[in-house]
Amino acid sequence: MATIGFIGLGIMGTPMARHLQDAGHTVVTSAFHIPPKQELIDNGLKFVETPAALAEKVDITILMLPDTPEVKDVLFGENGVFFGLSKGKLVIDMSSISPIETKEFAKRVRETGAEYIDAPVSGGEVGAKNASLSIMAGGSQESFDRALPLLKLMGKNITLVGDCGDGQVTKVANQIIVALTIEAVAEALVFASKAGADPARVREALMGGFASSRILEVHGDRMVKRTFDPGFRISLHQKDLNLALQGAKAIGVSLPNTAATQELFNSCAAHGDAGLDHSGLVTALERMANHAVA
């Protein structure tokens, strides 16, 4: 069993770290914004003062942070992970951040003799709790093979897509699909409900046809039942679509429906709902229709 560094013990990071603990690994953290949950402490979570000290102590450091600036700060800020790295160590960044900056982060980490993998995830809080996350990785085959036993404790569909940065590209593509599918489900249920049909029964009927999807199943149910406690917050999906739109601009690609869906998320945020689960996008359409799905 190994001692694993883990920085970012939030909604997703907590259950992911717990799976590592339950497999017999010792998890070490350095404080970052959110205090660790008591369940991790009770299960043997260890503490060090700084990310640099953490990286010195362990061979593998995992990051699960909200956005690119936080990853950059934890890696390269004062007493950052970078300053505790040396040959043979491995950084696994499971955050969802900029593919462009990821390539630069990996280049700097590799200059120390350490290795870097970007391994963003999909599956939300449910996937994190069930250890069923999809993990899309970028890095060398050797580093991926080394990380794989740990990744298998947190996810099921685990793919090495290419070199560093390609995992983040794949995650951005994933978030485009998820956002546009949430928007499609929301439009359909608003339409059905305002037309006088029972949206719960409409959803049930659609689950048996070609329109069936995991998002219709899970998020369609949230829309009908009005359960918008976050598994994945609107604010985080806004961040991911910003990465998509910024990347598209950089490479000369048009993403018109991504841009339109981002405006719906922006509308939710403007009404104070950035903390809702991203299925709460339906509320933007409901305001436009003057009708709530119910």
Give the active site residues.
171
288 CB neighbour count, 10 Å cutoff: 11
Query: Cα–Cα distance between 278 and 62 in angstroms, integer?
Result: 25
Q: Buried (b) or exposed (e) across 78-101, using 16+ Cβ within 10 A?
A: ebbbbbbbeeebbbbbbbbbbbbb
Q: Which residues contact 276 (CB under 8 A, 6 or more apart)?
A: 228, 230, 233, 234, 268, 283
Dihedral angle, C-alpha 286, 288, 124, 237, nearest 10 °: -160
Angle, vertex CA 79, rays to CA 73 and CA 83, nearest 5: 95
Query: Cα–Cα distance between 61 and 39 in angstroms, integer?
Result: 21
DSSP secondary-structure letter at 7? E
Dihedral angle, C-alpha 99, 105, 107, 111, nearest 10 °: -170
Q: Which residues contact 72 (CB under 8 A, 6 or more apart)?
A: 101, 105
Q: Which residues contact 122 (CB under 8 A, 6 or more apart)?
A: 133, 134, 136, 171, 174, 178
Question: Where are the alpha helices (H) located in the chain, listed in sequence order?
Answer: 13-22, 38-42, 51-57, 68-76, 99-110, 124-130, 141-154, 166-194, 199-206, 214-225, 234-251, 256-270, 282-289
Phi, psi of 85 (to 5 degrees): -85, 155
